[in-house]
Amino acid sequence: MKITRGLGYIVVLLAQAAQAQTHYEQLEVGKIVQGAIGLGMFSKPYPLPAGQWMLRGRNVQNIPLVNSKTREPSGSVSKYVLTLRNTESESMLPLIVVSFTERRSTLDGGVKPCNLSTNKNDWVDNFSDRPASEYSSVGSFVCANSSGVSNFKKLVAEAGSHSNAWVKSILAPVAADANALPDNVVMVNIWASRYRAQTLETVYFVKQEGNLADPEYARHLKPWVHTTGQNLLAVVENKEGTVNVPGRFAGAESGTPVVIDNSVLSTFADAVPADAIRIPKQFDLVDVRPDNFRSVLLSCLPQLGKNVDSFELPPANVVSATYKAANSSRTFVLKNSVGVCLQSSVTKYPIFAADTFLDTVRPWGISDEVATDWNAQIARLMAIRGNIQVAYQYPNQGAMTAKFWMDYSNPLMIRYTTQFKAQGDWAPQSFDLVFRDPSLIYVIPMKVNAKGEGKKDLPF
């Protein structure tokens, strides 16, 4: 009888604990939660920062599983993605997106790459202060990646038509609240998982009050990121965890507004600052032979050191090849038997010669000197921004407009497209560059497809 009563008492306590937090599968859009979200009767709850959080978006995905030995389908696991909006309008933490992957005894959440960033405006915390024995004993993993997002209000307001499916699914539900959100945020993505346990991925949108490249701001916010990651790791290890709202940055309370700049800034010492970019008319090309290949490669990428001895000149049937070194922003590009050492800017875009753009969009009627100057301006701005819009204005005030952008999958590929605009159908202030010359006759896009889009695979 005493044992039965004891078991009954334990069951009651477990039931009360389970009722204290609503399980994530039972949360409905519009519900307000606070304190924590339940992960199951025998799991510690997912901690919420102080305040009331309204569920604005709920997305359920079925992730197929594969048997690790036979590689055959082995059912699926549910992943719940919740968008939570802080009801306090001026909070430092206005938005949280959290995903819960259903717990399975056979599920290995795996690990994500957690390599240090080469961008000064990105932070990566691989929690290297964790002893190796801790990881090997529980099979747990945690990683935090933080990056600044500018024009956040606009991003949220237009999320419903965004091309990125993740942005569309998590931010469109809060589009109506866009004007109440900060202009700039730090997107802190923390992934925590444990073998045969739950996987948690949380994105905290923190009001941005400083630049991530600023050491003072880093000293302010990085400890919060690290502590939050440790607490989420504790949850997947079935321990108690707490998450606090980050405090205000003292530098933002001085009275002088902080100008937020979230552009990419390379950490490499040989990256070229914007004010030091010089655009040559042509590249300084070098003939590459078996007897000089390694010395030419080493002159461009001295970081290779003795490792250059392991490199061999590609066979004749290889048309092009590129070479990089771990601590350099430069790229050595080899095409047939000709090579060039390509520099990159601090914003991590390649610096091309002016003549690189001859085979993209070509103006006719102007002198070679003017054409070189125009292409040099395009090359310089592309090295800084990677995406620009140009207008070639005709004497009749109409214009051939062109858009140039770097291909995200291939950093050496230039893409471009053109469109004619009649007088009155375009505004000069809408373009990054406007070129005018009374001798301009017409502008021809080179090597474009049926959609009017062209590309240049290599810079020479």
Q: Check whether residue 287 and residue 401 sit in a common domain.
A: no
Above 50 in pLDDT, residue 15?
no
* For residue 337, pLDDT beyond 70: yes
Query: Of 253, 288, 308, which closes a domain?
Result: 253
Residues 382 and 244 in one domain: no
Q: Would you state the pLDDT for residue 252?
A: 72
336 shares a domain with 281: yes
In a domain, 52, yes or no: yes
90 with 153, same domain: the answer is: yes
| Residues comprising the chain, all counted | 460
From the number of C-beta atoms within 10 Å of its C-beta (0-12, 13-18, 19+), residue 205 rates as buried
How many domains does the chain fold into?
A: 3
Domain check: are 323 and 441 in the same one? no
Boundary-marking domain end, from 193, 224, 253 = 253
Answer with the one of 222, 253, 284 that is the final residue of a domain: 253
- Within a domain: 258: no
Confidence of residue 66 (pLDDT cuts 50, 70, 90): low
- Judge if 301 and 405 occupy the same domain: no
pLDDT at 254: 66
Q: Please give the average per-residue pLDDT across 358-368, as a whole number.
A: 95
- To the nearest whole number, what is the mean pLDDT of the chain? 88
Q: Which DSSP string do the residues of 53-89 spell out, in sequence order?
A: EEEEEEEEEEEEEE-TTT--EEEEEEEEEEEEEESST
Position 318 pLDDT exceeds 90: no
**What are 433-449's pLDDT values in tens digits?**
999 999 999 999 998 99
To 10 degrees, the CA torsion angle through 78, 47, 89, 181? -50
d(CA 245, CA 249): 12
Let me know if 148 is exposed, middle or buried by CB neighbors in 10 A (0-12, 13-18, 19+).
buried
Q: Is the confidence at residue 12, as pLDDT, over 80?
A: no
The reply to whether 175 and 221 lie within a common domain is: yes
Answer yes or no: is pLDDT of 372 > 90.
Answer: yes
Q: Is the pLDDT of residue 168 over 50?
A: yes
User: Which pLDDT value is given to residue 34?
Assistant: 92
Predicted pLDDT of residue 298: 96
Same domain, 282 and 137: no
In a domain, 269, yes or no: no
Question: What's the rounded mean pLDDT across residues 146-167?
Answer: 94
Window from 116-120, 216-220, 438-442, 452-456 with minimum mean pLDDT: 116-120
Both 46 and 135 in one domain: the answer is: yes
Is the residue at 13 inside a domain?
no
pLDDT, residue 185, reads 97
* Secondary structure (3-state) at 343: coil
Residue at 171 is within a domain: yes
Region 187-206: mean pLDDT is 89
Task: State the average pLDDT over residues 408-413.
Answer: 85
Whether residue 217 is found in the same domain as residue 300: no
Of the ranges 36-40, 131-135, 192-196, the best mean pLDDT one: 36-40
Task: Report yes or no: 64 and 99 within 8 Å, Cβ to Cβ.
Answer: no
Going by pLDDT thresholds of 50, 70 and 90, the confidence category of residue 43 is: confident
**Residue 14 domain flag:** no
Instruction: Please identify which residue in the block is written with the tokens 């590249």.
Output: 283
CA distance 3 to 9: 10
Residue 73 pLDDT > 80 = no
Give 298-301 contacts, CB < 8 A, sequence gap 24+: 299/341, 300/330, 300/332, 300/341, 301/325, 301/328, 301/330, 301/332, 301/341
Nearest partner of 46 among 33, 36, 54, 34, judged by Cα: 36
Mean pLDDT of 277-302: 95
Identify the burial level of 360 via C-beta atoms within 10 angstroms of its C-beta, where 0-12 means exposed, 13-18 middle and 19 or more buried.
buried
Domain span at residue 327? 274-342
What pLDDT was estimated at residue 18?
A: 41
The reply to whether 335 falls in a domain is: yes
Q: What pLDDT band is residue 17 in, cutting at 50, 70 and 90?
A: very low
Percent of the chain past pLDDT 70, that is, above it, reads 89
Residue 5 lies in a domain: no
CB 232 within 8 A of CB 200: yes
**If we measure between CA atoms, which residue out of 339, 399, 93 comes closest to residue 390?**
399
Answer yes or no: do 291 and 183 share one domain. no
Report pLDDT digits (tens) over 86-139. Answer: 999 889 999 999 998 876 545 555 566 788 888 889 999 999 887 665 554 467
My answer on whether 80 and 189 are in the same domain is yes
Residue 259 has pLDDT above 80, yes or no: yes
